[in-house]
Amino acid sequence: MSNIVAIIGGGASGIIAAYAAIKADAKVILLEKNEKLGKKLYITGKGRCNITNDCDINTFLENVPRNAKFLYSALNHLSPSALRNLLESLNCPTKLERGRRVYPESDKASDVTRAFENAIRCADIRLNSRVAEIDVKNAGVKGLMLTDGDYIPCNAIVVATGGLSYPSTGSTGDGYIFAKQVGLEVTHTSPALVPIELSDDWVKKLSGLTLKNVLLTALVDGKEVFSKQGELLFTHFGISGPIAIALSSHITGIEAHRIDICLDMKPVLDIYTLMNRLQRECNENGSIQLNTLMQSYVPKSMVDILLELSDVYEKTKLAHLSNKDRWSIVNTLKSIPLHFEKLRPFEEAVITRGGISVDEIDPSTMQAKKISGLYFAGEVLDVDAYTGGYNLQIAFSTGALAGKSAAEYVGGKE
């Protein structure tokens, strides 16, 4: 029994924890409640699997909005480049794409899962196995109980059960229950990296419209918490796309506060430069209607909405446009108010904000500080990052460190 490491969860963090533990000479029992391993991995990156972001550690941590320092040891243990090398050694070569995002050369998420499955064949892999309870006595792991009544004795457990995002893949918060059962703090959980619902009726008219190189800014109780330039997508319920998804990570869990969002259609131009441009074009094209000129400022489908928000008649001839109206248009171009309603649900979230408090975990091993032999890895922890491969790298890095540490722990007890 003494050198058995039981791993709960067969997602990214669980399968690499199993691999790391096997490499460190432990016997591994991998328990997965689904009918196959890596179920969530299959849908990441729209089925292509954005494995990681191949950047240096400092840049990586800049893309983790909360508890970034907690990851320093894990990322040093398995960096993005080291993960790529590992996958190469497992016959799953990778490639680098825009934004330093890394994908398998095959563009198939299944190849990543298969690579690890082949590498952990010597493990005792038990599918359709649900854990009911972790057995802890005298502040140390003794084993675990399955829902079918079976008891598995072991001296180390890695909890790699995921969070609450994409619950159809089996991420239903089991790890939070186990943590609470043994007295560990679990912070409030909420969906992150998720689209945003707005109360503005006009956004429905723009559903499907993508804006590039716009600036999205958010204030919470009057304090700026987010400002990012990039691509934005209007939907029938509000906004999505990279910068909206990134914004959600800064406002999830605090929806009760006052949240103000504004959209800058011309972030590269300051308000005075934009005003001078509009005034010059009005002087040069006096006979043209305003709604025609505005098509050179915003997409055609957005012109009437922009002018309605500016409270300016769309068919005004440029020669008759007052200075007040020009300023109103410019101010709207630089700051379109978007009225926050709520975030979309966990079913649409990429990741979970919140989880097992990092204060409960030793970052150099991923072991619970209060309970010897109990380790946590991946989304179950209170750490989340932006899109671009960062969250999957966190799962792999924390999983690898937890698996190795658990194996060393049981090895020391022999």
Share of the chain above pLDDT 90, in %: 93
- pLDDT tens per residue, range 399-408: 999 999 999 9
Report pLDDT for 383.
98
pLDDT at 414 over 60: no
2 confidence band (pLDDT: 50, 70, 90): low
Token pair for 283: 């002087």
pLDDT bin (cut points 50, 70, 90) of residue 159 is very high
| 229, burial (CB in 10 Å: exposed 0-12, middle 13-18, buried 19+) | middle
pTM: 0.91
Domains of the chain, residue spans: 4-190+350-412, 195-344
Q: Is the pLDDT of residue 45 over 90?
A: no
The alpha-carbon radius of gyration of the chain (Å, integer) is 25
pLDDT tens digits for range 183-215: 999 999 999 999 999 999 999 999 999 999 999
Tokens linked to 250: 């800064």
Crossing angle of helices 303-310 and 323-334, rounded to 10° = 120
The domain covering 4-190+350-412 belongs, at the CATH homologous superfamily level, to: FAD/NAD(P)-binding domain (3.50.50.60)
Residue 413: its pLDDT value, please? 64
Q: Which conformational region is residue 23 in: left (phi greater than 0), alpha (psi within -120 to 50 degrees), or beta?
A: alpha
pLDDT at 353 over 60: yes
Assigned fold of 195-344: Helicase, Ruva Protein; domain 3 (1.10.8)
Given this model, what pLDDT does residue 77 score? 99
Checking DSSP bridges between strand 190-192 and strand 351-353, what pairing results, if any?
A: antiparallel
DSSP state of 289: B
What is the signed CA dihedral for 114, 116, 120, 124, rounded to 10 degrees?
-70
Q: Is the pLDDT of residue 96 over 60?
A: yes
| Paired sense of beta strands 259-264 and 336-343, if any | antiparallel
195-344 shares the fold of 4-190+350-412: no
